[in-house]
Structure 1
């Protein structure tokens, strides 16, 4: 199949999802997406092999193949729940979205913003990060985020439009004429909220950290932005709790008082990794990491991830 044909097929599939899901009874939609998750898991389609390679680090060397497969199945179901909810979010009832959210620590984040201090909220690929953005926007706090540019361009524009409809300002990770990093810094210096997924380095210029006892790479951006602008760097963890969404805003990661800029960024990013490690371990099935994170995997494919 030609690349252009593939792009059109992908865009059509997502468009169908946005069109159909909002009209399905919730129970029917949940059932359908669970079946899709199980099919991908059984066939090890898409990123399932890499997901299992990542989850193996979390479980440790003593985990059995059966334990790993059980966790990867639960994680795939959680991941497809994210997609199902993303398709529903634009038409979801405002009160339902607020009522089904269980949060802690949000008051500290909002206190910084009310005092005119910007906040960098750093999130792992857990739970439903689009719901979290919509939820805080509904609480009256606008936010700015960054999205990886997708192919085809029409699909990227559709995702951007949906997130903007939910109350987010979306900047492209690359190819944007507005100089994304500069725009983020301006938002923070103006006392705004910037939300960034922060457990996978997309730039090949990230920071090496220790995660689950192994070397991994995480983006330097969240710590660098906080350090440059004086914004508070606050980790945020997300998970599913039955029909509810869990959100926890953690205490600010303060910049070290000593060291050069690079050393301070490394230290802050390592602290971020420690928080992520703790929260992923508490909700392992809700970590949707389908791409390489650990340094050993970045040199090539995950290989025996499914063994």
Structure 2
């Protein structure tokens, strides 16, 4: 960032004080929040002095520490992977688990540094785009759209890329416990062109956005406050999955589009865009569940392609 840390922190604190459409954002930061925040800002400042690839490599190493020696949710991750891929032996499960931690660490650093790229730099980070004509077709009709992704690849980059391409995008985001983090991250998202809607406001704000012809993005394997979930198959087991994105799509008769940003071995990204077919039979509950099931099918398909890039934690 070009501004001084003091100036930035005042801006964040001011944003928190004014509120950002979230009850959590209205909370006054504690001393612990401030300590966490300034530590994080100092770390990001140091990483900005490095090349993009060098900073991301550090992220991978930090992520690997989470697996071993720290062992953060290690057993949970290994259990999830073993259940999803029963043909893997124990060594293969452990290898995939370690890679998923490295991916998560890299994703965190990429996200923290994303705004430093700018919109043009972000688009240059993307190597291939498949299916973008789906977005162009939908948005040209002026009805809006529901975009869905999961915790695969770099989901923050996926949303930022869509916004950088000029799509009017409202992203539903879960508020963070630390209000300073919350304001900082949301400001970085806004610099990439996204309008942030906290999940506590999604029920109220999403209808307004869709009526205005905007796209609304959901990380659709994460719950939204005020909306129910359902159970659909995911890797052969019932998985509790939010219904919110499907409910809005059906109520406002807008298309559902799956978007993911998958990292290539060279560190650049492959953007995949796919239309999710939404049948309308007149039975709202059945139709919602069908869309949710279709979303998880798309998500599972890509998790099988890049299993180390899924958030198994």
Q: In the alignment, which residue of structure 1 is the partner of 2:238?
A: 215
TM-superposed deviation, 1:23: 1.7
Work out the CA distance in 2 between the residues paired with 1:50 and 1:209. Answer: 21
Q: In the alignment, which residue of structure 2 is the partner of 1:257?
A: 281
Unaligned runs of 5+ in 1: 291-307
Q: In the alignment, is the contact (CA less than 8 A) between 1:209 and 1:215 conserved in 2?
A: yes
| TM alignment of 1:18-33, pairs within 5 A | 18-33=44-59
**What TM-score do you get using the length of structure 2 for normalisation?**
0.83
Q: 1:166 to 1:95 in 2, by over 3 A?
A: closer
Work out the CA distance in 1 between the residues paired with 2:118 and 2:149. Answer: 25
TM-superposed deviation, 1:105: 0.9
Work out the CA distance in 1 between the residues paired with 2:71 and 2:173. Answer: 24
Work out the CA distance in 1 between the residues paired with 2:170 and 2:53. Answer: 32
Q: In the alignment, is the contact (CA less than 8 A) between 1:235 and 1:250 conserved in 2?
A: yes
TM-superposed deviation, 1:210: 0.8
Q: In the alignment, which residue of structure 2 is the partner of 1:89?
A: 114
- Specify which of 59, 62, 69 is matched with residue 43 of structure 1: 69
Q: In the alignment, is the contact (CA less than 8 A) between 2:158 and 2:259 conserved in 1?
A: no
Match of 2:275, SS?
coil
* Cα shift readout 1:242-263 (whole Å, capped 9, x = no counterpart): 221111111232133242x122
Q: In the alignment, is the contact (CA less than 8 A) between 1:189 and 1:231 conserved in 2?
A: no
* Cα shift readout 1:183-218 (whole Å, capped 9, x = no counterpart): 111111221111110113355831111110101111
Moved more, 212-221 or 83-92: 83-92
Work out the CA distance in 2 between the residues paired with 1:93 and 1:205. Answer: 36
Match of 1:217, SS?
strand
Q: In the alignment, which residue of structure 1 is the partner of 2:215?
A: 193
Q: In the alignment, which residue of structure 1 is the partner of 2:167?
A: 141
Q: In the alignment, is the contact (CA less than 8 A) between 1:118 and 1:230 conserved in 2?
A: no
Work out the CA distance in 2 between the residues paired with 1:192 and 1:280. Answer: 28
**Once superposed, what is the RMSD of the aligned Cα atoms?**
2.0
Q: In the alignment, is the contact (CA less than 8 A) between 2:278 and 2:287 conserved in 1?
A: no
Q: In the alignment, is the contact (CA less than 8 A) between 1:200 and 1:217 conserved in 2?
A: no
Q: In the alignment, which residue of structure 2 is the partner of 1:10?
A: 36
**What TM-score do you get using the length of structure 1 for normalisation?**
0.85
Work out the CA distance in 2 between the residues paired with 1:82 and 1:110. Answer: 27
Q: In the alignment, which residue of structure 2 is the partner of 1:305?
A: none
* Cα shift readout 1:103-142 (whole Å, capped 9, x = no counterpart): 1111111211111121111101111122222222221112
